[in-house]
Structures are given as C-alpha cells and as structure tokens.
Amino acid sequence: MKISRRAALRGAAGLSGAGLIGSLPVSAASNGSQPDFSDPLTILRTHVKMVGSLGADPVVSFMRLNVYADLGEGNFVPFFTMNNILVDYWQPKENDQHEMRKYEVGFYTRYDSQEPLEEFANPVTGKTTAIHHFRLGPVPRLYTSEGVFAMGYTPKLLPIEVIGDRVFLATQSIESRPDMLNPGRTAYTNSFMTMSAPLADIANPAVLSAPVHLQLQNKNKWAPWMGMGDRPGGTVARGFGGKVGSLDALPAVVKAGARRFVPEIFDTTNWKEFVFEDTEYLKSLEKKP
C-alpha cells in the first residue's frame, strides 16, 4: 500500500503503538548468520535501531561539527565548531511504522575548542558579528518500509554494508526547494550521514537502540548572521559523535554551555512552537529598535 507524505505525517500520531516491536531475523550470535539486509522490513528496523530506537524511549545524541567556509576556490577556511545536541522522541506504530519527533540545538565554540563564542570574528570579511546559536524543532518524521516521510529534507538510505564486525548505514539528502528567506532563489541541501554499530547489536532482537558512531558531512548556504552577503560559496561541516545515555551524560563543559546558550533543549515538554534557525534570526532583527 502506497502512503502519501502528507497522510503519513498527519495520521501517524493517531495510530496505536502498543506491543508492535517485532524481532529481527535470526541472531548472528545464535548460528553465525546475519540479518538479510536486502529485506525492506529488516532495512527499516536496522535504520530505526541505529538512528533512534525501536522502543518508546527518548534518544539523545551529541556531535561535534567543525565548520569551514568554502569560497568556491582555494582551501576551506576554518570558521568555528558547533556542539550539536539532538533529543528525539520515538514511538512504534502499527504496520511496522515508527514515529519520531526531533528537537535539535547547537552552540558555537572557537574552532576545534570548547571555548564558547559570543561573537564571530569572520576571517573572510574581517568583520565581527554577533553569534546566533542553532535551534530547530519540533520536526516530525515517520519511518516506514516505503521510506522516510519528513518535514524538510528527507534522508535517502544507501545500501547497508557489513565491514568486519560492524554494520554501516549511509544516508544522503541531495535536494532543492524555493528559498523561504530569499524569494525567487533556490535553496540547496547536500547532507550526508554515516552510522555504524556492532553487528551483534543489530542482529540481537533484545537490543532496541544500538550504540552508534555518527559521521556527518554537509554543504550549506551562508547563514544570514555570518555577514557573507552575496559572496559565492557556503559552509561545509564535518561532524562526528554518537548517542549518549541522557542529557546529564553530556560532557560537563557541553552541558554548561547548552544551559547558557540553548536552554530550550532541557525543557522540550514546553517547546511547542516550531523554531527554525534562519527565520528566528530574522525575527530577532525585526525586534531591534
């Protein structure tokens, strides 16, 4: 049965999800075999187990992103580093569907450092601008055997690979849409994530959320607050990280910085209104006298 993106996102919240977690194919630990990663249902469950959880527990992830300026020629120019925190709420649904609600924040530090930035000395323009820290959410997604239904860009799965004793799952988002901040222009998305987890955990039906290593690469337009104007190019980010047990399990310096700059992530219960980084920045400019 085909599912439209709109119907899936609209209808997901109304579905009952009790007791719907099935087991993966026979465990590698039991007879030396591995899951059939060509089977759509196995692919779905592997994806959900790696990116989040087959259960109903929240999943917290933490990544460090080094961000560079790509001017279209020459070497990249280091800009800064971001401490990126994600809190995802998962819920299993009927018909092997899994609903996720994402909250994401990030605060900037000096490049390859944990020293928080309150202003940005742009090495390209020579000017100093105020930092606008990152907030995004809540963002709904529905994971099904037919694909991911999402608001915003949608990750496309590449074939699952087994290398040694680890499972690797890569996703890519290569998309374009009208630029909501610049009418008449096009916004491009180029985002690539690679997740890896122990094969034993993926094959074990008792493990609902696999411990993963995360690697991220993306190319973005200049954020409005960077003061880059119409210069060609954009930013390139290179990130790495994984799941953590809870927000309390974050490194102390990261937790302190998040409470100072992006405290919303500690109170997602009261984070009701959708927030998007660029539009929030433009709203802040409108409020200035």
Taking only the tens place, the pLDDT of each residue in 132-156 is 999 999 999 999 999 898 877 788 9
Measured torsion, CA atoms of residues 16, 197, 217, 276, in degrees rounded to the nearest 10: 30
pLDDT value at residue 179: 80
What DSSP string runs through 255-280? Answer: HHHHHHH-GGGG-GGG--S-B-HHHH
pLDDT value at residue 177: 84
pLDDT > 50? residue 8: no
Give me the mean pLDDT over the 64-84 stretch: 97
Q: How far apart are CA 264 and CA 262, in angstroms?
A: 5
pLDDT > 70? residue 168: yes
Residues 65, 88 contacting (CB under 8 angstroms): no
Per the prediction, the chain carries an average pLDDT of 87
Of residues 6 and 208, more confidently modeled? 208
Of residues 58 and 152, more confidently modeled? 58
Sign of the dihedral through C-alpha 183, 188, 283, 87: positive
pLDDT value at residue 15: 35
pLDDT > 80? residue 28: no
pLDDT value at residue 127: 97
Of residues 228 and 182, more confidently modeled? 228
Kindly state the tokens that stand for 51. Answer: 């990116």
